[in-house]
Amino acid sequence: MSYSFSGTIRYSEMDEHRSLSLYSLINYFQDCSNFHAEACKVGLDWTEANHRAWMLASWQILVDAYPTMGDPVEVSTWATGFRGFIGYRNYEMRDEKGRSIARANSEWVFMDTERNCPVKVPQIQADAYGIEADRKLRDNFGSRKIHVPENGKQREPFRIQEYHLDTNHHVNNGQYIRFAEAYLPAGMKVRRLRAEYKKQVLLGDLLYPTVAETDSGIVVVLAREGEDPCFIGELSERTE
């Protein structure tokens, strides 16, 4: 079954151009899936009691239009399938006329938080959410895997602070997008986002950014010194 909620764009959710920020859009999507979990009785209390958590593995997001302050919106989410320890989920934001203005495809990993390893999605989770495979979005979201160019330029490292963390005690998914946006050209409005979440990042970690410009957009890689990437993001002004 799907889950939807309605909202009104707030001043605190806007960017400097008076439209919903990309970070706030992601928060709408994440909040929607959290509300879905709570409504299905498999939310924070259930995952904490069972030492389990859903960890985001990837986003692919397309934005046709950003709403502005005071605009009413409806946000929806639904599960499109489960396989092993992976859950597949779609999202959509519609405006007051019912027009789709933003959509997302995502993959989530079901984790054992005590052993810090993936585990098979239990039937109670799959049954709670249901599967709406026929409703799977057909947009061309692009590949889940992001090619990392070799011509990236290293930027100044930065350290993770407490306000970057969520209830899982690691950096929240949306914060990575905020980190990546810091390296965009002035005035760039993101219409397509692809993001891969590779490793958990914790309080006090020092991240080293590498930024490359490609024909598709800006690719931002975040990694601890001498390690493989923790996060790879591609942000583009084009939806194709």
Helix, strand, coil percentages for the chain (3-state, nearest 5): 20, 40, 40
User: Alpha-carbon torsion 147, 208, 177, 186, what sign?
Assistant: negative
Confidence band for 111, pLDDT divided at 50, 70 and 90: very high
* CA distances, 234 to each of 92, 144, 149, 217 (Å): 20, 11, 11, 6
Measured CA to CA, the distance from residue 217 to residue 207 in angstroms comes to 22
Measured CA to CA, the distance from residue 148 to residue 158 in angstroms comes to 21
How does the average pLDDT of the chain come out, rounded? 95
Per-residue pLDDT, 1: 87
Per-residue pLDDT, 123: 95
In this prediction, what percent of the chain has a pLDDT beyond 70? 100
Per-residue pLDDT, 188: 92
Per-residue pLDDT, 132: 94
> Is pLDDT at 238 greater than 90 in this prediction?
no
In this prediction, what percent of the chain has a pLDDT beyond 90? 93
The two tokens of residue 11 are 């001043």
> Is pLDDT at 240 greater than 80 in this prediction?
no
> Is pLDDT at 112 greater than 80 in this prediction?
yes
What average pLDDT does the segment 175-181 reach? 96
Name the nearest CA neighbour of 110 among 51, 195, 171. Answer: 51
Per-residue pLDDT, 187: 86
> Is pLDDT at 216 greater than 80 in this prediction?
yes
Per-residue pLDDT, 218: 97
- Assign 35 to helix, strand or coil: helix
Beta bridge partners of 153: 211
CA angle, corner 57, sides to 55 and 59, nearest 5? 115
For the stretch 36-51, pLDDT in tens is: 999 999 999 999 999 9
Q: What is the pTM of this model?
A: 0.94
Confidence band for 239, pLDDT divided at 50, 70 and 90: confident
> Is pLDDT at 181 greater than 90 in this prediction?
yes
> Is pLDDT at 167 greater than 90 in this prediction?
no
